[in-house]
Structure 1
């Protein structure tokens, strides 16, 4: 009988210790949002109005050492990309990510009769961000 009670007490101690040891102040996946320094003056909730003549936009992530592009959408159409891509060059834009957590987006002038959009999805570990560039037609 004493062995049975001792076993129950030991089991209760192990059970209680498990809950105390696993308790944490931070939740799994509770990453800090990405913080950016940029030369963009007309940014509104990560939406950038690009003038018809185009422009160069520089974004520096200040709280993560590295990040990558996980999604890319051109005029609403998602494009296939590789997570290892540090430089993407297309007909009317280019994106470059360097080792200093700096992303440079260059958009050429729009001489077409269509508005253009470019959405870039950024990831650093389990934290995500995005930038939407909108450029009006000629």
Structure 2
């Protein structure tokens, strides 16, 4: 009987050790590193200020190689991208913006603003379960 007690105790301790050592915070699913952006622009690359004349802006994600659009909003209207995983959009054109993704390069082209009001564009991208957004505000 003592052999069985020792065997059960040993198996229990091995299971407990495996359970405790197998759960580590860095092993959590969805614990993705935030996207890092690089550009020749100065300031916060998550908040781009565009002059009335418009312009083209290129940002490169330095820690993910393949990005895709998650969603895009312009002037409070959401641009439909779709939920079908087989259809991946890499280029979106609106009335006053043209946004493209090529691997890890995000290109945002903004037309001149002749509306007399501030325009806002929010581009959300993803790489797996890592998400980020770039907010573009164009002066009037």
Q: TM-score, normalised by structure 1?
A: 0.85
Once the two structures are superposed, the pairs formed by residues 1-138 of structure 1 within 5 Å of their partners are: 1-5=1-5, 6-20=7-21, 22-24=22-24, 26-28=26-28, 29-41=30-42, 43-44=43-44, 46-82=46-82, 84-99=88-103, 101-137=104-140
Deviation at 1:45, TM superposition (A): 5.8
Structure 2 vs 1, CA of residues 33 and 58 (structure 1 numbering), >3 Å: closer, same or farther?
Answer: same
The C-alpha deviation readout for 1:88-135, integer Å capped at 9, x for no partner, is 111111011113x11110000011132210001111122221111111
Give the match's secondary structure for 1:52. Answer: coil
Give aligned pairs, total.
Answer: 134
Deviation at 1:73, TM superposition (A): 0.9
Distance in 2 (CA, whole Å) between partners of 1:10 and 1:27 is: 25
Deviation at 1:34, TM superposition (A): 1.1
**Aligned-CA RMSD value:** 1.9
Distance in 1 (CA, whole Å) between partners of 2:111 and 2:45 is: 23
User: Do the aligned partners of 2:37 and 2:45 also contact (CA within 8 Å) in 1?
Assistant: no
Unmatched segments (≥5 aa) in structure 1:
none
